[in-house]
Homo-oligomer: A and B are copies of this chain.
Amino acid sequence: MFENLGFAAYDGVALDDAASLVPIDLKRPNPGTDDVVVQVQAIALNPVDEKQRAALNQQQAPRILGYDACGVITAVGSGVSRFKPGERVMYAGTTKRPGSFEQYQAVAAELIAQAPANLTAGDAAALPLVGLTAWELLFEKMNFVPAAQANKGKTLLIINGAGGVGSMLSQLAHWTGMTVLATASTRHFDWLARHGVDVPLNYHEDLIAAVHAAGYPVVDAVAILYATEPYLDLAAQLVAPFGHVGAVATPQGPLDVTALKPKGASLDFEFMFAKSDFHHDMASQGHILSQLATLAAVGLIDPSVTTRFDKINAANIKTGLRTLMAGHQAGKIVLDGPFEA
């Protein structure tokens, strides 16, 4: 019997290596003053899990990854008044503390929100990381207005519209009245349409010509949800004056952003762990999650789960991560408990 079963990574060995994620028994955490402790019921996977794991170099202490969870609060710190044991919550958490690949996880109360009652734990776990990324990019970095129909007449082009962040971003933009153009494989065009995309674009084709042919000489914003380099020049050509080019990937070297200057355009980096890494306005993430929960509760956004596992174990996590890293996944992969060694 485990006190707190977790899946630990110590080194960036191949994902298929038996040592890549090791079941271990952890101490059950006590909540810090401003923490809650959550019994994790479901987790969702993200590329950041595998990127962080692959970059590990002989950790002495177990590194517990996992940045999307839904679960039930079992304990609260003395400084926490907004939540109480028994409530079901969702969160992404922070890379600075153990993640959700464990049965009992301590997380700062300001980073969490109540999970929508009408969602399964798996669906709720699929919302936080992609929802925070999409919300922050669209409303905090690109400065569109987070309210129904508030951005009518504005246009957004999403590069990689069918992925986890893309599927959330298209729905949020659609909710605010924007016209959404998005690239994907043609086999995902139905998926795009169901997630608020007005103009699907085949990512194999000449995108500038396709955007122009669809009737848009420029777009107000371009979200590059893929490597930045291959799409930066296209984004600079298509973005409107004073427009926004968003990027979520770390550049591999210097970027030629010269073409943004004559348009007075912005290059907006979005990184949802920046707030918790630097203890900057962390409470805003709990607030954003509350708004995402409301939108999900009334059906205005869908958690976009396409792959479900019914046990949280090392084999399922690895299978899910392999699928994610292959790069053709539409929507989210969730593991809807229980934990199993």
Contact = CB atoms under 8 A, between A and B. Distances in A.
Interface residues of A, number: 35
A241 interface: yes
A263 B266 CA distance: 15
Contacts of A255: 254-257
Contacts of A275: 241-242, 264
Interface string A269-311: 1111011011011000000000000000000000000000000
Copies in the complex: 2
A274 B141 contact: no
B277 A242 contact: no
Most buried by B among A141, A241, A256: A241
A269 B265 contact: yes
A221 interface: no
A272 B263 CA distance: 9
A136 B269 contact: no
B269 A260 contact: yes
A277 to B, nearest CB: 7
Contacts of A143: 143
Contacts of A3: none
A212 interface: no
A268 interface: yes
A13 to B, nearest CB: 25
A15 interface: no
A132 B263 CA distance: 15
Contacts of A240: 278, 280
A228 to B, nearest CB: 9
B257 A263 contact: no
A105 B172 CA distance: 47
Interface in A121-142: 136, 140-141
A93 to B, nearest CB: 17
A251 interface: yes
A153 interface: no
A257 B257 contact: yes
B141 A241 contact: no
A120 B278 CA distance: 49
A263 B254 contact: no
A250 interface: yes
A242, A256, A261, A275: most-surrounded residue (chain B CB, <10 A): A242
Interface string A229-267: 000000000001110000100110111111011111111
A141 B267 CA distance: 11
Contacts of A274: 241-242, 262-264
